[in-house]
Amino acid sequence: MDISEQLFERAKKVLPGGVNSPVRAYRAVGMAPRFITRADGAYICDEDGKKYIDYVCSWGPMILGHNHPVIREAVEKAVQDGLSFGAPTRREVDIAELMVELVPNIEMVRMVNSGTEAVMSALRLARGATGRDKLIKFEGCYHGHSDCMLVNAGSSALAGGHPSSAGVPVGAAKDTLTAQFNDLDSVKELLEQNPGQVAAVIVEPVAANMGVVNPAPGFLPGLRQLCDQHGALLIFDEVITGFRLALGGAQAYFGVKADLVTFGKIIGGGMPVGAYCGSRALLEQVAPCGPVYQAGTLSGNPVAMAAGLAQLTYLKEHPEIYTDLAAKGEKLARGLRAAAEEAGVPVAINQIGSLLAPFFTPTEVTTFTDAKGSDVGRYARYFQAMLEGGVALAPAQFEAMFVSEAHGDAELDATLAAALAALRSL
């Protein structure tokens, strides 16, 4: 047993499944997880002294690469002044002003501690503001683990075979209606069947928890139109796409306005942060201005705010990063398609900007049904071979591959060489 395997044995005795978040247990890829000691730039290192090119990037936020000096220094400086005050600080005003400047259609921000919390709170706000109870989400989209969102969920809920969780009271889930991603008719039907009752339609503008599935042309504008017609709010869950697809996120990338936007770890530079944002009229419904209650001691934590402010400021000052990231994403997608062809393995590669996903299927993947058609056993073998070749991918088919600014040509070329070998070995 190597050191990671030994640690996993110890972990399983004191942590459920040996982990603090299910997908990390590597069950979907049939092996013991790597225990990580440190990460720098495009690389992570494990307890056994092995180094991997990392495409998990802490599930997205390390857009500049791991341990970026600008963020590390901001954190080190902030730590000198104390870890938590449970009180307002200058930094949270600075970062909120910056977000309002960079993200279209938002006038106010409420900081929380995770994407789950951001979504949970945005949904409460949508319900409070509209006086309606029902919500529409999409099958295979993942919005964190709050009760009403654990219905037909993607990501590790799907990989683990529990798209709808035990422990969610019927009452908490009964108002969550499920539509099909990239199928406007399914949304229209639900809105028409529930007139005046739907508070919000929540969507990942790029579905990135069923692998990666791009919105079909017209899908997001169509959602906007349907929401307007039916008086429902449109919520973009930008935990994955925010500050990644573009500085202004998916709203800027696709030119579609959302009423509420949720962000996660990327606005904390990897520290535990989330936020929900929208118009003044909506956000002033939140306590202490309005009747929608939501609170938290660690919300706007000074160290997390320092990290987030440093990351967002850096991104604002280096907007060329986005063109560069997209070029890297395209290079990987092209190279992976060529490798798959050379190896004679049918793979559909979905890519948008710096987000990618390989699906082991001969058909295109444009819907959740297509994504589920991928051969997950083959993905597991591909994952293992890639790890062996020094590349760490997401340990489940229904996740995204994240490219960072620290992934240079050397890393991309090494990844493609490892992919060709891995695909040939399948």
328 is catalytic: no
142 is catalytic: yes
Nearest-approach distance from CB 394 to ligand HOZ, in angstroms:
8
Looking at the Cβ atoms of 239 and 365, the one nearer to ligand HOZ is 239
Looking at the Cβ atoms of 60 and 335, the one nearer to ligand HOZ is 60
Q: Which of 26, 43, 55, 142 is catalytic?
A: 142
59 touching ligand HOZ, by CB under 6 A? yes
Looking at the Cβ atoms of 201 and 210, the one nearer to ligand HOZ is 210
Q: In the set 21, 37, 164, 229, which binds ligand HOZ (CB under 6 A)?
A: 21
Query: Of the ranges 17-25, 65-73, 103-111, 230-238, which one interacts with ligand HOZ (CB under 6 A)?
Result: 17-25
CA distance 209 to 143: 9
Looking at the Cβ atoms of 128 and 249, the one nearer to ligand HOZ is 249
- Site size toward ligand HOZ (CB under 6 A) is 8
Query: Of the ranges 18-26, 277-285, 315-323, 352-360, which one interacts with ligand HOZ (CB under 6 A)?
Result: 18-26
Buried b / exposed e along 190-203 (16+ C-beta atoms within 10 A): bbeebeebbbbbbb
Nearest-approach distance from CB 398 to ligand HOZ, in angstroms:
8
Dihedral of the CA atoms 46, 50, 53, 59 (nearest 10)?
Answer: -10
CA distance 286 to 282: 8
Query: Of the ranges 16-24, 42-50, 175-183, 253-261, which one interacts with ligand HOZ (CB under 6 A)?
Result: 16-24
> Tell me, what DSSP letter sits at residue 268?
G
Provide DSSP, 338-374.
HHHHHHT---EEEEETTEEEEE-SSS---SHHHHHTS
Looking at the Cβ atoms of 243 and 314, the one nearer to ligand HOZ is 243
Provide DSSP, 170-196.
HHHHTTEEEE-TT-HHHHHHHHHHSTT
Neighbouring C-beta atoms of residue 133, cutoff 10 Å: 14
Q: In the set 23, 118, 310, 420, which binds ligand HOZ (CB under 6 A)?
A: 23
Q: Which of positions 385-424 make contact with ligand HOZ (CB under 6 A)?
A: 399
Dihedral of the CA atoms 58, 242, 158, 425 (nearest 10)?
Answer: -60
The 3 state secondary structure assigned to 25-57 is: HCHHHCCCCCCEEEEEECEEEECCCCEEEECCH
Q: Which of positions 307-346 make contact with ligand HOZ (CB under 6 A)?
A: none
Angle between helices 219-230 and 184-193 (to 10 degrees): 10
Looking at the Cβ atoms of 130 and 374, the one nearer to ligand HOZ is 374
Q: Which of 46, 175, 183, 237 is catalytic?
A: 237
237 is catalytic: yes
Name the pairing type of β-strands 51-54 and 43-46.
antiparallel
Nearest-approach distance from CB 272 to ligand HOZ, in angstroms:
11
Q: Which of 134, 137, 265, 372 is catalytic?
A: 265
The two three-digit tokens of residue 376, written as one number: 């997950």
CA distance 74 to 362: 47
Q: Phi-psi bin for 86: left (phi > 0), alpha (psi -120 to 50), beta?
A: left
Nearest-approach distance from CB 23 to ligand HOZ, in angstroms:
5
**Is the Cβ–Cβ distance between 405 and 63 less than 8 Å?**
yes
State how far the alpha carbon of 382 is from the alpha carbons of 4, 39, 78, 155, 358, in Å: 20, 23, 42, 18, 10
* Interface mask toward ligand HOZ for 120-159; x: CB under 6 A: -----------------------------------xx---
- By beta carbon distance, the residue nearest ligand HOZ is 21
> Footprint of ligand HOZ on this chain (CB under 6 A)?
21, 23-24, 59, 155-156, 209, 399
Show which residues are catalytic: 142, 237, 265
